[in-house]
Amino acid sequence: MELSSGAILAIIGAAISMGLAAIASGIGVGLAGVAGAGVISEDPKKFGPVLVLQALPQTQGIYGFLGAVLILIGVGVLGGVVKEIPIGMGYAALGGGIVIGLSSFTAVAQGAIAASGMGAVAKRPETFGQAVVLAVMAETFAIFGLLIAILIFVGTKIMGG
Amino acid sequence: MIRDVLSYLYVNATVMAKEGKFISAGRWDDLWGCTSPGEIASLLEGTDYFPYLSEAAVHEARALEKAILEEFSALGQEISKIIPKGAWPIREYLLKKWDVINLRTALRGMHGGLQKEHLMDSFLEGGELNVTFFKSFLDAEGMDDFVALLTGTPYQVLGEGLARYHETHNLFFLESLLDKVFWEDLWTKVLKARGIKEFREFVEVCVETHNLKIILRAKSDGLLREDIDPFLIPECAIIDKLLSTFDEEDLPGLLPLLEETPYFEPLVGAQHEYERTGSVVAFEEVLDSQALNKAQDIRRKKPFGPGPLIGFLVSKETEVKNLLAIVRSTEVDLSRDEVRESVMRKKWKLP
Amino acid sequence: MLRPTRMKKLQILALEGYRDTIVKGLQGLGTVHLTDYSEKLSDPPWKDLLQPHPLSPHVRKIATQNIALNRLLDLFERYDPEAREGFFKAVFAPLPPKKLESREVFGAELIETVDGIVEKVEGEVENPVKDLEKIEEEIAELRRSRGLLELVLSLEIDLRDVGESDYLSVSIGIAPKEALESIRERIEDLTDNTYYLGARETTENKLVTVIICLKEHASTVLPNLRRLNWERIELEGQEGKPQEAIDSIDTRLMELGQDKTEKEQIIVDAARRWRDELKKYQEFLMIERQRQESQTKFARMEHIVALEGWIPQHSVTRAVEEIQGVSNGACVVDISDPDDKDDVPVQLKNPKFFKSFELLTRLYGLPSYNGVDPTLFLAPGFLLFFSIMLTDALYGVIALVLGMSLIRGGGRYNEAIKDGGIILSSAGVATIIIGALSGGWFGGFGLRVPVLAALQVFDPMVQVTTFLLIALIIGLTHVNIGVVINVVDRLKTGQVWKAMSGNLWFLFIQPGLFFFLTGHKSLGYIFIVISLMLLFAGHKAMSMFQVTGFMGDILSYARLMALGLCTTGIAMTVNVLAGMLSVVGAIGTIFAVIIFLFGHLFNFLINAMGAFVHGLRLHYVEFFTKFYQSGGTEFKPLEMRFDIVEIK
């Protein structure tokens, strides 16, 4: 099957979106997980709050996944027939993928915050609400990244076109 | 930066969870009022100490003390296993501390002529030198023989304090040499180690307070400059001025020389107490609390690095010290307020 | 409404003789939050008048009794552990908690009864426990010896010979392999060559050694060897070859095992008979202790005690009657309003359904006494945000089912689980509505049913920009509500300038921009100028950050759309993947069904958590910051709260 250069660019965009997000989310979840293991080794009853905090940096990975899927649907890879994609549209998809991929690195910081939040919760369980809010703060810019990507996709008719 | 954060995450989370199990303020209130080991033991229910309590600990202060120290030693061993590689000086600190504690027990046993059977099970695991080694001390006859047994270990310098010990029959100088070996060794190591600035700052405070304690004690005992050299830890800038005028000034005259150091204000604050009692213990207590303050300070400033770990270790040691003080007070029959007073006076801020 | 329960300050002066009956009365009412007098006592005018009330002597006695009860219950638990419910059973289908009916026992009677019971139970278990200790000690000792014997198994000697005889001393020990030569040299030195040293290898680079020397040499040789890391193994009292000794130990261990089971049975029997009784009195003791300990908060002077506390306005009459009643009027009760300096405890007050959402308010921290209780606003906002971010009717059904099973399961006996269930099921209902409107039925899966498709008014995957716009409008409205609450609250409490200089500018700039952009330029200018004046007057140099701050807040609501799309997008992906598999034969269909079910379950879990967390965040960070004053102390009355006892 011959793919047009536009489609290839778009697919690279999808790959970057998911790939970078996976790395960033992985680091973030890893950071939180290490701390979580420390807390649980001391106090297994804290598993609930620890689990919620550890799951927070996962969201960026999901945004990356969503971005990739949106591109793949737009290009037609998901759905069977790969469309003829103009090269400009391909670049736009690549840009969308990059913005999601890069902005998902907020997961690293989020993981670190979640990790220290776990320590705080382990020490004083009543701080759970605050710890979650602190960690969620870091995610805002990943959401904005996803938002910009979606606007790019909509504006260039990759989505809904 | 991420690697630094990452390497301490596990140990920091663990120690914070452990801090959650520190004895609570309300529990301390109850503890002050305890008049028997049994009461203390029952109040330790639910804490980390509880599993270490033997049946005997309910009746006997000595057994209770041992249980508390055993928990502390087990904790040290547990922590030293999860300390990141880069923080090896902290591991040294945790290990060597138990050698010093065991040696101190042996020294006091020798000095006080304690029964061998009692001493036999006072030694605790956790240090670099094994317990069998300490048990071989029990055959020593007299302090000289005891110190001779230390030949070949870093602690052989205790020999330099023997003359003074025989002269005054006071353990202070032998114990100081023990501390000196410990801190000096650690100090040379942290000066070499990289990436552990916070711990270096902490050790620095300990080294400085050690030297200051020696100087103040020596001055109040009327010693001369040349007598105290073996007890001091070198490479400590703040004492230079004190040493240069050591023989001329009297004790209150020495304090203003420290004016630019953080120790000046607390020491001046304790001066009144010193004049009242005539004992340098007042100064020593103030100096002891400096290390704790430093550790708390580090923990506040470095929440992601070794800060929480250092803060925890020192807070835990304080908790143990306070508990031991309460346990010992049951032996000498102090009242609730006297116990509180005697512990609080040392300004060991509760964690 | 909108504020925590109004409180009155309650001050009581009573004759000392009525102290206990009054406290008992207050505990029975359960409406008075006692405060600590001693904090005031260091200052005049109280300083010279009153002293702190001493600790009741009963407290120590109760503590000791409690320890005794705990020890017994621990003992029972060790030999006869109580069945516990697993996590899921406890949450979704717990058994009704056990209740023990009893008449109320308190005061001297309680202490006496507990003493009696403790004595009785201790008498029953004392001997078996002692026997068990002895048995266990012996077992441990035998096991230790057995371990040592295993080390020396390779020695073919009769253990009877070990120890001291008339002329010789025979000892067995373990040493590191490399120490053998130095040991040999040392013994040679010390014994003038009259010795025997035999060595066999064991595991771990160790040697087991037999040392025979003259009896008079033994006392110098052995301590010396210890310094060479030679460790003596004490095997006195064993007979025969090591293997034989091990066999006889095993026989004895069997006997002891049987003995142990018998003794344990006695304790188990006692546990079955006494456990409930002990637990019942433990609870009575706890109530008694709370009452006795509350005395430390009082103050006293000759024959008179003074206490102070807070009481909800509506409970005042009843409480005053009760206090006057139990003290035969021999006390002075003063009711007054709180003044500004008082730290009045906070009791949230909300209508039934909203009460459950107090859980979410508490998660952030209680409002201060004079602040606004945000629960009434939080509940609808949270439900709306949650449902927009989850956007799938069938996910809503899952949430509803989960929530209902919480309410009907653990919620029957546990308030917190019930609150969680109500929040979850109402979020489920909201999600079903929003999901149906946006056509989410496991993604587009359910749209094949025409009725469901007809409900759809909006397609988030197509009308993306509309969705974003809706999200931002919701955000703007939400922030505006926050600002209005703040302004109204400040005006109500008379802080006019604070109301003007705060965030009021934001309410003016919006109509200003609206008029300006719709052509009514002069009207627009007026509003904008007023707004900017308020802004600069209130915030001075920080004005710029106010503007960017509000922009950031509103943009932040874009997450409603991003997360909503996320749910829809992933649900769609699951469907596509399952669809691709379902066309490759029977096995493909099976995998398709598995992927479909687990895919949607995963998507539900991860996005429901996201919706929950971000729904809260939008409230805590964007909404609460506009008006919320936190930092209240919780209202904790002295009360009689029994968990297992039911007073007849």
Domain ranges of chain A: 5-82+91-155
- pLDDT band, very low/low/confident/very high, at C529 (cuts 50, 70, 90): very high
Q: Which of A116, A121, A124, A128 to mutate to test the interface with B (most CBs of B within 10 A)?
A: A116
| Contacts B20 to A, Cβ<8 Å | 42-43, 122-125
pLDDT for position A80 = 66
The proportion of chain B whose per-residue pLDDT surpasses 70, expressed as a percent, equals 89
pLDDT for position A63 = 87
Say if residue B195's pLDDT is above 80.
Answer: no
- pLDDT band, very low/low/confident/very high, at B334 (cuts 50, 70, 90): low
Burial C450-462 (b: 16+ CB within 10 A, else e): eebeebbeebbbe
Q: Please choose, from the candidates C500, C501, C502, C528, the residue with its C-alpha nearest in 3D space to the C-alpha of residue C514.
A: C528
pLDDT for position B333 = 61
pLDDT for position B193 = 79
Q: Six-digit token pair at B39? A: 């009461």
Please state, in angstroms and rounded to a whole number, the distance separating the CA atoms of residues C340 and C345.
13
Asked whether B300 and B307 are in contact (CB, 8 A), the reply is yes
Where are the CATH 3.30.70.2170 domain residues in chain C? 7-53+298-345
Q: Six-digit token pair at C326? A: 């139990």
Q: Is 3.30.70.2170 the CATH classification of the domain at C7-53+298-345?
A: yes
Please state, in angstroms and rounded to a whole number, the distance separating the CA atoms of residues C626 and C503.
8
Say if residue B347's pLDDT is above 50.
Answer: no
pLDDT for position C92 = 84
Greatest mean pLDDT range, B39-48, C308-317, C456-465 = C308-317
How distant, in Å, are the alpha carbons of C149, C250, C251 from that of C156? 12, 20, 22
Q: Six-digit token pair at C130? A: 């002692």
| Chain B residues in contact with chain A using a Cβ-Cβ cutoff of 8 Å | 2, 5-6, 9-14, 16-21, 82, 303-304, 308
Sign of CA dihedral A2, A8, A10, A12: positive
Q: Six-digit token pair at C548? A: 């960017």
Q: Do A123 and B2 touch (CB under 8 A)?
A: no
A16 vs B: CB within 8 A: no
Say if residue C618's pLDDT is above 70.
Answer: yes
Architecture of domain B1-82+303-351: Orthogonal Bundle (1.10)
> How far does the CA of residue A130 sit from the closest CA of chain C (Å)?
6
Residues A30-40: what's their mean pLDDT?
A: 89
Which residues, at least 6 apart from A21, have a Cβ–Cβ distance to it below 8 Å? A60, A61, A63, A64, A65, A67, A100, A101, A104, A107
The proportion of chain C whose per-residue pLDDT surpasses 90, expressed as a percent, equals 40
Interstrand relation of C206-214 and C195-201 (parallel, antiparallel or unpaired): antiparallel
CA dihedral angle for residue A86, residue A92, residue A96, residue A97, rounded to 10 degrees: 50
Please state, in angstroms and rounded to a whole number, the distance separating the CA atoms of residues C633 and A134.
23
Asked whether A96 and A13 are in contact (CB, 8 A), the reply is yes
Q: Do A35 and B11 touch (CB under 8 A)?
A: no
Q: For residue B278, how many other CB atoms are within 10 A of its CB?
A: 10
**What element of type H or E holds C51?**
strand C51-52
pLDDT for position B338 = 62
Cα-flanking dihedrals φ and ψ of residue C15, to 5°? -65, 145
- Angle, helices C558-582 vs C585-617, to 10°: value is 170
Asked whether A25 and A55 are in contact (CB, 8 A), the reply is no
Listing DSSP states for C54-78 in one string gives PPPHHHHHHHHHHHHHHHHHHHHHH
| Contacts B39 to C, Cβ<8 Å | 64
- What letter does residue B23 receive in the DSSP assignment? P
Give the N- to C-terminal CA distance of chain A in Å, as an integer: 23
- pLDDT band, very low/low/confident/very high, at B343 (cuts 50, 70, 90): low
Please state, in angstroms and rounded to a whole number, the distance separating the CA atoms of residues C570 and C564.
10
Query: Chain-wide mean pLDDT for chain A?
Result: 87
Q: Which of C226, C230, C233 to mutate to test the interface with B (most CBs of B within 10 A)?
A: C226
pLDDT for position B260 = 80
A42 vs B: CB within 8 A: yes
Q: Is C319 helix (H, G, I), strand (E, B) or coil?
A: helix
User: Cis peptide before C45, with omega less than 30 degrees from 0?
Assistant: yes
Q: Which of A23, A27, A39 to mutate to test the interface with B (most CBs of B within 10 A)?
A: A39
pLDDT for position C57 = 74
Displacement of CA C397 from its chain's centroid (Å): 29
- pLDDT band, very low/low/confident/very high, at C547 (cuts 50, 70, 90): confident
pLDDT tens profile B104-157: 888 887 777 766 667 777 777 777 777 767 777 777 777 787 787 777 777 888
Which residues, at least 6 apart from C442, have a Cβ–Cβ distance to it below 8 Å? C392, C394, C395, C571, C574, C575, C596, C600
> How far does the CA of residue C566 sit from the closest CA of chain A (Å)?
6
> How far does the CA of residue B11 sit from the closest CA of chain A (Å)?
6
A137 vs C: CB within 8 A: yes
Please state, in angstroms and rounded to a whole number, the distance separating the CA atoms of residues A54 and A52.
5
Asked whether C179 and C224 are in contact (CB, 8 A), the reply is no
- pLDDT band, very low/low/confident/very high, at B351 (cuts 50, 70, 90): very low
| Contacts B16 to A, Cβ<8 Å | 39, 118-120, 122-123
Higher pLDDT, B30 or B178: B178
Listing DSSP states for C14-34 in one string gives EEGGGHHHHHHHHHHHT--EE
Cα-flanking dihedrals φ and ψ of residue C304, to 5°? -130, 135
> How far does the CA of residue A113 sit from the closest CA of chain B (Å)?
10
> How far does the CA of residue A31 sit from the closest CA of chain B (Å)?
6
Q: Do A146 and C562 touch (CB under 8 A)?
A: yes
Cα-flanking dihedrals φ and ψ of residue C300, to 5°? -145, 155
Asked whether C426 and C390 are in contact (CB, 8 A), the reply is no
Please state, in angstroms and rounded to a whole number, the distance separating the CA atoms of residues C485 and C490.
8
> How far does the CA of residue B96 sit from the closest CA of chain C (Å)?
20
Interstrand relation of C100-102 and C645-647 (parallel, antiparallel or unpaired): parallel
Query: Chain-wide mean pLDDT for chain B?
Result: 79
pLDDT tens profile B235-284: 777 777 777 777 777 777 788 888 888 888 888 888 888 888 877 888 88
pLDDT for position B339 = 59
pLDDT for position A161 = 57
Which residues, at least 6 apart from C93, have a Cβ–Cβ distance to it below 8 Å? C409
Q: Six-digit token pair at C295? A: 């005395």
B33 vs C: CB within 8 A: yes
Q: How many CB pairs under 8 A join A and C?
A: 82
Residue whose tokens read 């536009």: A6
Q: Do B2 and A27 touch (CB under 8 A)?
A: yes
Say if residue C251's pLDDT is above 80.
Answer: yes
> How far does the CA of residue B19 sit from the closest CA of chain A (Å)?
6
Q: Please choose, from the candidates C343, C361, C318, the residue with its C-alpha nearest in 3D space to the C-alpha of residue C33.
A: C343
Q: Do A119 and B13 touch (CB under 8 A)?
A: yes
Q: Is B1 exposed, middle or buried (0-12, 13-18, 19+ CB in 10 A)?
A: exposed
**Lowest-confidence region among B15-24, B138-147, B308-317:** B138-147
User: In CATH, which of 2.102.10.10, 1.20.120.610, 3.30.365.10, 3.40.50.11740 is domain A5-82+91-155?
Assistant: 1.20.120.610
Q: Is B115 helix (H, G, I), strand (E, B) or coil?
A: coil
pLDDT tens profile C412-455: 888 889 999 999 999 999 999 999 999 999 988 888 888 888 99
Please, which residues bridge with residue C14 across strands? C305, C331
Domain limits of chain B? Answer: 1-82+303-351
Chains with ≥3 Cβ pairs under 8 A against A?
B, C
- Angle, helices C558-582 vs A140-155, to 10°: value is 70
Q: What angle do CA C404, C405, C407 make, to 5 degrees?
A: 65
Which residues, at least 6 apart from C447, have a Cβ–Cβ distance to it below 8 Å? C439, C441, C453, C456
User: Which residues of C, range 479-498, sit inside 8 Å of A by Cβ?
Assistant: none
Q: Which of C38, C78, C227, C234 to mutate to test the interface with B (most CBs of B within 10 A)?
A: C227
- Chain A residue closest to B3 (CA)? A31
Asked whether C435 and C458 are in contact (CB, 8 A), the reply is no
Q: Six-digit token pair at A153? A: 């996709």
A37 vs C: CB within 8 A: no
Which residues, at least 6 apart from C59, have a Cβ–Cβ distance to it below 8 Å? C289, C292, C293
Asked whether B138 and B102 are in contact (CB, 8 A), the reply is no
Please state, in angstroms and rounded to a whole number, the distance separating the CA atoms of residues C168 and C161.
10
Greatest mean pLDDT range, B334-343, C380-389, C522-531 = C380-389
Q: Do C566 and A140 touch (CB under 8 A)?
A: no
- pLDDT band, very low/low/confident/very high, at B23 (cuts 50, 70, 90): confident
Q: Do A129 and C621 touch (CB under 8 A)?
A: no
- What letter does residue B158 receive in the DSSP assignment? G
Q: Do B10 and A37 touch (CB under 8 A)?
A: yes
A112 vs B: CB within 8 A: yes
| Contacts A56 to C, Cβ<8 Å | 613
| Chain C residues in contact with chain B using a Cβ-Cβ cutoff of 8 Å | 60, 63-64, 67, 70, 133, 223, 226-227, 229, 231
- Chain B residue closest to A117 (CA)? B13
pLDDT tens profile A135-156: 888 888 888 898 899 889 988 9
Q: How many CB pairs under 8 A join A and B?
A: 69
| Contacts C231 to B, Cβ<8 Å | 132
pLDDT for position B337 = 60
Q: Which fold has domain C163-234?
A: Alpha-Beta Plaits (3.30.70)
> How far does the CA of residue A146 sit from the closest CA of chain C (Å)?
7
* Minimum-distance CB partner of B9 among A31, A43, A108: A31
pLDDT for position B350 = 40
pLDDT for position B292 = 84
- Chain B residue closest to A109 (CA)? B2
B27 vs C: CB within 8 A: no
Asked whether B35 and B326 are in contact (CB, 8 A), the reply is no
Please state, in angstroms and rounded to a whole number, the distance separating the CA atoms of residues C421 and C636.
25
Q: Is B319 exposed, middle or buried (0-12, 13-18, 19+ CB in 10 A)?
A: buried
Q: Six-digit token pair at C430? A: 């909201």
pLDDT for position B346 = 47
> How far does the CA of residue C223 sit from the closest CA of chain B (Å)?
7
- What letter does residue C561 receive in the DSSP assignment? H
- What letter does residue C444 receive in the DSSP assignment? T
Cα R_g (chain B), whole angstroms: 20
Asked whether C340 and C354 are in contact (CB, 8 A), the reply is no
Q: Do C566 and A159 touch (CB under 8 A)?
A: no
Residues C166-190: what's their mean pLDDT?
A: 83
Asked whether B261 and B239 are in contact (CB, 8 A), the reply is no
Say if residue B174's pLDDT is above 70.
Answer: yes
